[in-house]
A and B are shown apart, each in its own frame.
Chain A
Amino acid sequence: MITRRTALSLPLALAAAPAAAQTMLAAPAAAPAPAPIALVMNSGGASVSVIDMTSRQVINTLPTYREPSHWALTPDKREILISDASGNALFAFNPHTAKPLGHVRIADPYQLGYTPDHRYLAVNALRLDHVDFYDATTLKLVKRFNPGKKPSHLDFSPNSRWSFHSLQGSNALASFDLTSLKMRWRVPIGNTPAGVLWHRGRLLVCIMGGNGIVEVDPRNGRILRGQATGRGAHNIFYDEAGQRLYVSNRLGGTLSALDPVTLQVQRNYRIPGGPDDIGIDPAGRIWIARRFAEEVAVMDPATGDYDTIPVGRSPHGIFLSTCLRQTGEITAERL
């Protein structure tokens, strides 16, 4: 196990694990680019499945402690951090090769993300009802909030002024000022809110106990409008080009494609088996974790047809290494 200080900071990791770090540094210059991989967090299997995206075969299964769920890239994109909530740990991997880089002890990390200014690592501790802000470099706890029950998903304003957190057990959405580290507001938002996404100056929040998303004014938490997508709307993503939004409807067994401007549903794809998080590859295919089917579906959005790849129990978060080719900010679980 590497230490808290070395786990997530490459310069310090160089000192602590020179061989591994040398490999990481040498790889881009000396070797061809690694084959693209997908990492799938098997929440019920205490493991991460590594899929060769070309052959669509599971090529490795990496252990975690208990319950891997979500991921975040470090600001330098050299490590992917995978949260293990009931294992109380963050696991670090090389995002190109899935080489394990160690783990650190963190209380109950569920969804997590670096603030866009790379100052904090924000962690929602769903089980323990915490929202924690850690120093992004040292991973020392800076501030802990107890804003309500079951903080689940989060996002930030692009200018790093505010963070937003759905409180699944309190049916509320909370926002924090990242300058003063104080709560700005907490508002009722709907039954069991889950995925949160900053989108064109607004917030989009999935209402898992309802049948769609709501658009929220980030200044005050006021609900501006709602859009039905499907029962159990769980998480929301946008594609690389920003041309479409996708909402996974866990109970409805569908994936809804939304127009990013009007938020109107353009198409509903039938994806049974509890669709959860998604990734989109450079060819535009959507990789969907199917929680109850123990599979990842790879869907062609043009036809809605999909192939499946068996993975571990209760696949949850999914990371595609092809997103590393993007030039923009990918520090949180956003495409």
Chain B
Amino acid sequence: MGLDRCFSIIAGAIDQHLILPVLYRFGWMEWGDLSFNWALVCVYGLFAVILTYAVCWPLEAWRPVEHWPSRKAVLVDIFYTLLNRVGVIPVVTFLLFYQVQTDFTGQLVDMGFIPPTLETLIPGLFGHPLITFGLYALILDFADYWRHRLSHSFRAWYALHALHHAQRQMSFWSDDRNHILDDFISFLWFFAVGLAIGIPPLQFPLLILGLRFMESLSHANIRLSFGPFERLLVSPRFHRLHHAKRAAGRHSCNYGAVFPFWDMIFRTADFSAVWLPTGDAKAPEALATGSYLAQQLTGAKMFAAALARRRHT
């Protein structure tokens, strides 16, 4: 049995024996057609965490860039990861996206317009799901490059994004440490992209998992570059330069998440063979070592202050 099929069957079992009984008990069976997808997202999320841990932890132990006397600051990143990949956030995002997308699409359809997908925009893609997936991955990574770059360009937006950069003990757990408002902006960003090119087909969850793994790996505390492939995929060394203290704030480099092409094309790439300390020297200590709530609260205050200052000026 293939891994993909194995995950689907696990998700099916979770759906049938855990989620559907709850939906049934509370009279929410109208969501019964979608609950399998929720289970699938969580199963893949959990596997992604396990896979990332299994690969990255030995590597971090073997060739760490930094040795830390205490890993306490990493604990909150583990919480972010579990919340984002296995916990409620995927399901809430799924529901939110579903509802917003449905409402908006409904409005468009009522006006006689059916939103496109990449395959309807480029008919030759139909019947070539792997190529289609690859193209979606490229376009979405390109969109993410600009989202990320813009998040460093606006003072208020960076006030939120600073939470991600404040971690001085950057590890493979750090990928998901984001302010919830920053996540919400990302949601809106990709919602807009989704309206333009459609939502990518989900028949390749293992590939999606692979892309997420690459993002986690790029944050790992590993003395690792990809050698001749450094210009094909974002490596831990490449992304560490983005998290370096000197690159925190509004003038950074290496914004790419999976592919470094965009940084190369738009001249923000830095392939220096150095391993610099990470963090944001200007960020309040709470953003670096505070609890989840303290980080969220501090980030919100910084965001409000940045907005107020903008209005004042």
Contacts and interface: CB of A to CB of B under 8 A. Distances in A.
Contacts of B110: 144
A292 B32 contact: no
A266 B300 CA distance: 62
Contacts of A272: 16
Chain A facing B: main interface SS: loop
A253 B16 contact: yes
B12 A292 contact: yes
Given A128-B102, A232-B29, A46 B5 contact: no
A168 B199 CA distance: 24
B117 interface: yes
Interface in B3-39: 5, 8-9, 11-13, 15-16, 20-21, 24, 27-30, 32-33, 36-37
A110 to B, nearest CB: 9
A314 interface: yes
Contact of B126 (A63, A126, A253, A313): A63
Chain B facing A: main interface SS: helix
Given A192-B32, A292-B12, A292-B15, A65 B114 contact: no
Contacts of A192: 27, 29-30, 32
A334 interface: no
B15 A105 contact: no
B5 A310 contact: yes
Interface residues of B, number: 38
A292 B9 contact: yes
Interface string A96-119: 000000000111100000000000
Q: Size class of A's contact patch?
A: 35 or more
Contact of B117 (A65, A128, A169): A65
Contacts of B28: 209
A92 to B, nearest CB: 14
18 contacts: A44-B203, A45-B203, A46-B203, A65-B119, A65-B126, A86-B199, A105-B120, A108-B105, A150-B30, A208-B29, A209-B29, A231-B24, A232-B20, A250-B32, A251-B20, A273-B16, A292-B12, A314-B36
Closest CB pairs A-B (n = 9): A292-B12, A192-B29, A209-B29, A107-B109, A128-B106, A169-B30, A168-B30, A208-B29, A63-B127
